[in-house]
Amino acid sequence: MNSRTKPKRQVVASGDYVVDRKQDLILDAYLGTCVGVTICDRKAQIGGLAHFLLPEWTGVNAPWKVKAYAKTGFPLFIDDLCKAGASESRMEACIAGGALVGPISKLDLDLDIGGRTEEIVLHILTEKKIPVFQAETGGYLSCRLSLDLGKFNSSIDPISQAFRQDARSSKKPLPEDITTLFSQVRPIPQVSLKILRMINDNDYNMREIAEEIKQDQVISASIIRLCNSTFIGMKRKIDSIDRALVLLGEKHLLLMVVSASMELYFKDSEHGYSLCKGGLFQHALGVALVAEKLAEFTHRASPKIAYTAGLLHDIGKVVLDQYIASAQPFFYRKTQVEGVDLCDLEKEKFGYSHAQIGGLLAENWSLPENLIHAIRYHHYPEQAESTYTELSHLVYLADLLMSRFQVGYALASSNMDGFALRLEKVGLKSSQFPILVDLIPSKLFDRLPNGLHL
């Protein structure tokens, strides 16, 4: 089959489902702890894929996302299949996901989010007498669940199958190499560095900033494109910086400037740290959004500063990316399959972690101290100075949630050492972890850029 005849692919985001008729389209769900289900009625030529984030609504200060929960979303999914013309008596199901991703802690085992989600799905299928013809759940591996709407076939592929070659020998960078790499990485526009400091100081002249933005055609175009993406979800089209200012407001426009700058900064690659084209930026953007939600929930940091810290947390990966490229299979297997902490592995192979390099780069840019600490200590937030520890903990938690519940974007793993104590630093208990999962914005991304390269 040549590339012209290959069916299109559509990613079903966590907390959503898609129902459709026979067509040349493959539905995909990238699953870690989440649980995915496909259901087909071959006679009616109707099928769908559902991607569940949690077993049920947590109900505490979290938005109501009915499709995100197996208990409420799965019955709706089946009802919509029936409304489209399918019959429960002819339905067949396939289930995947519910894995224990990354370094495993007692909390993972106690909460068993994936296991409880699967139990609810199986209970509903049993009640409705819908047979399960394939199921691969649990374990420790992320996977891709797919439904081919042209053939009504489902498949479950471990994401790790994309990495079959072992690492080639990789050179360990010397201190002078790091200095050279700093000078070679793409610089962030000066207007963005200025805005980073303004956000931190909560002191800015929006008219002056808007005029500066307009003078940079590349970043202006990037901002407008980002404002019109599903990430923002604006109902009215934005076609100018002035229009963005009116519809978004001053502070949100400032965040869009920084976000657009970081998209230009991160390499649009599917090698190195990225598991898909543009994956490193998509992961950073997700961590920014989740960190903002966590700050709003805990009241332990300014949401806008938390967003900014989340967006910048992995800037060190840009510097080390070329060293990871040749060793990507080794790093993937160690972090995603064996659960080794990414920073520990980087130190072993390169002598530096991306968090350490990111901290040095942030100092080189003269960023505010709170952002430097959040970048440098987002894997070990308790090591940050007391003044900045809460922000560092929020970024750590956001990174952890993305690596567990939004898989397929970038090499990422967060250690679980002293996890209960880390939650306490921002006024949370272990039992509230599902509530944090529930704070992940609905439809965080509609698709993975160009699809994960399986």
Q: What is the pLDDT of residue 209?
A: 79
Q: What is the mean pLDDT of residues 105-124?
A: 84
Rg (CA), the chain: 22
Q: How far is the C-alpha of 115 from the C-alpha of 107, rounded, in Å? A: 13
Bridge partners (DSSP) listed for residue 71: none
Tell me the DSSP string of 250-278: HHHHHHHHHHHHHHHHS---SSTTBSBTT
Q: Tell me whether strands 8-11 and 35-41 are parallel, antiparallel or unpaired.
A: unpaired
Q: State the average pLDDT for the chain.
A: 85
Q: Higher confidence at residue 82 or residue 159?
A: 82
Q: What is the mean pLDDT of residues 82-98?
A: 97
Closest CA to 12 of 411, 442, 399, 410: 442
Output DSSP code: residue 379: S
Least confident of 50-59, 147-156, 406-415: 406-415
Residues present in the chain in total = 454
**Residue 13 vs residues 59, 85, 392: alpha-carbon distances, Å:** 21, 24, 27
Output DSSP code: residue 159: G
Helices H / strands E in the chain, number of each: 19, 9
Q: Tell me whether strands 25-31 and 8-11 are parallel, antiparallel or unpaired.
A: parallel
Comma-separated ranges of CATH 1.10.3210.10 domains in the chain: 175-189+268-438
Using an 8 Å Cβ cutoff, are 389 and 381 in contact?
Answer: yes
What tokens appear for 385 in the block? 């100075």
pLDDT digits (tens, 9 = 90+) for 360-405: 999 988 899 999 999 999 999 999 999 999 999 999 999 999 988 8
> 343's torsion region: left (phi>0), alpha (psi -120 to 50) or beta?
alpha
**Does CATH number 1.10.3210.10 belong to domain 175-189+268-438?**
yes
pTM: 0.82
pLDDT at 357 over 50: yes
Q: What is the mean pLDDT of residues 208-229?
A: 81
Q: What is the pLDDT of residue 184?
A: 74
Q: How far is the C-alpha of 384 from the C-alpha of 334, rounded, in Å? A: 26
Using an 8 Å Cβ cutoff, are 120 and 71 in contact?
Answer: yes
Domain 8-162, CATH among 3.40.50.300, 3.40.190.10, 3.30.1330.200, 3.40.640.10: 3.30.1330.200
Q: What is the pLDDT of residue 27?
A: 96
Q: How far is the C-alpha of 334 from the C-alpha of 331, rounded, in Å? A: 5
**Please, which pLDDT band fits residue 104 given cuts at 50, 70 and 90?**
low
Q: How far is the C-alpha of 453 from the C-alpha of 197, rounded, in Å? A: 37
Q: What's the per-residue H, E or C state across 78-135?
A: HHHHHHCCCCHHHCEEEEEECCCCCCCCHHHHHHCHHHHHHHHHHHHHHHCCCCEEEE
Using an 8 Å Cβ cutoff, are 253 and 244 in contact?
Answer: yes
Q: What is the pLDDT of residue 449?
A: 40
Torsion sign over Cα 333, 336, 340, 342: positive
Q: How far is the C-alpha of 393 from the C-alpha of 300, rounded, in Å? A: 10
pLDDT at 232 over 70: no
**Please, which pLDDT band fits residue 167 given cuts at 50, 70 and 90?**
very low
Three-state SS at 147:
strand
Q: What is the mean pLDDT of residues 43-53?
A: 97
Using an 8 Å Cβ cutoff, are 180 and 65 in contact?
Answer: no
Q: How far is the C-alpha of 179 from the C-alpha of 174, rounded, in Å? A: 9
Q: How far is the C-alpha of 273 from the C-alpha of 258, rounded, in Å? A: 21
Residue type for 420, please? A
Using an 8 Å Cβ cutoff, are 391 and 301 in contact?
Answer: yes
Q: What is the pLDDT of residue 451?
A: 40
Q: Higher confidence at residue 96 or residue 446?
A: 96
